[in-house]
Amino acid sequence: MQEYRGNCHCGAFKFHIKLPSPGLNGLKIRNCDCSICSRNALLWIFPIPDNNLVIETGKESLQTYGFAGEKMVHWFCPKCGSYVMGRRKDTPKDRQLGINARMLKDINLKELEITTFPGADLEPKYQPPPFPPREEIEKKLKVEEGMEIYNGNCQCKAVTYSVLTKSLKEQEVMCCNCSLCSRNGDLYIYPKKSQVLVHTGEDQLTGYAFLSTESLHCFCSVCGVSVLVKVLGEGKDDDVCPVNVRTLVDFVPLQTEGLKMQFYDGAKNDPQ
């Protein structure tokens, strides 16, 4: 057996799992495109027998979330938003538990064998929430020539927003390898604060400070989806509101068409 240790980003929940040799090298990691997995970039290790998971700290610290008949219950940290694990309800007991590989320490995600799973095709199919009329959004965001409006939301639909930006086909999307972004799988664009309009659920966002107390990584307190970053400063360089493009209504087809990625080595400044 091979042992792997892991934790949510803030460290409130720590665990280790045991996998038969050769460990992760002998497994296919599941990348699902359903409405929750695509938003959180979940990479599932399925199944893990219950006896092969040892919770070291924080057994009662995680929050649960279910949807679509709650055939699967998800657990995330309510402090930092890390999506740790899930449990299916329609399979034999020792085939129910799954762990998000992004939570494991000292592994290289690029070396994993990843297989896709078409979860978005399962019934009932996910429907995005309603948004204000286009004309109303355009007026509030003061649309300029060459700019486009994208709508987005967390999975439970409590948080909805619109963002004014250049076409995603014409700009680079930031992929950072720091300990927080790599756990969340966040992909960011950087519009100005005035170009992001939160329609509903701003009071549902939980802010988590990492590296700087002036930048709050905000996730939905209900479903745990990482949505945006609130930059609290008022200086010229602070006029930005990073948005996680994984939460855009059209993210899956946009990803399929191919996004221009810019990679940032955030790990070099990361204490973890």
Q: Do 162 and 193 fall into the same domain?
A: yes
Percent of the chain with pLDDT over 70: 100
Could you give the number of structural domains in the chain?
2
Q: What is the CATH number of the domain that holds 26?
A: 2.170.150.70
pLDDT at 256: 66
How confident is the model over 138-187, as pLDDT tens digits? 999 999 889 999 999 999 999 999 999 999 989 999 999 999 999 999 99
Q: Determine if the peptide bond prior to 133 is cis (ω within 30°).
A: no
Residue 23 lies in a domain: yes
Q: Do 154 and 29 fall into the same domain?
A: no
Q: Do 87 and 6 fall into the same domain?
A: yes
68 phi-psi bin (left φ>0, alpha ψ -120 to 50, beta other): left
Measure the CA–CA gap between 233 and 231, rounded to whole angstroms.
6
Using alpha carbons, select from 239, 223, 263 the residue that is nearest to residue 37: 223
Residue 37 lies in a domain: yes
Q: Do 82 and 207 fall into the same domain?
A: no
Q: Do 177 and 224 fall into the same domain?
A: yes
Residue 211 lies in a domain: yes
How confident is the model over 200-257, as pLDDT tens digits? 999 999 999 998 899 999 999 999 999 999 999 888 789 999 999 999 998 987 776 7
Owning domain of residue 183 = 134-269
Residue 97 clears pLDDT 80, i.e. is over it: yes
Q: In sequence order, which ranges of 117-270 are alpha helices (DSSP H)?
A: 134-141, 179-184, 251-257
Mean pLDDT of the region 19-43: 94
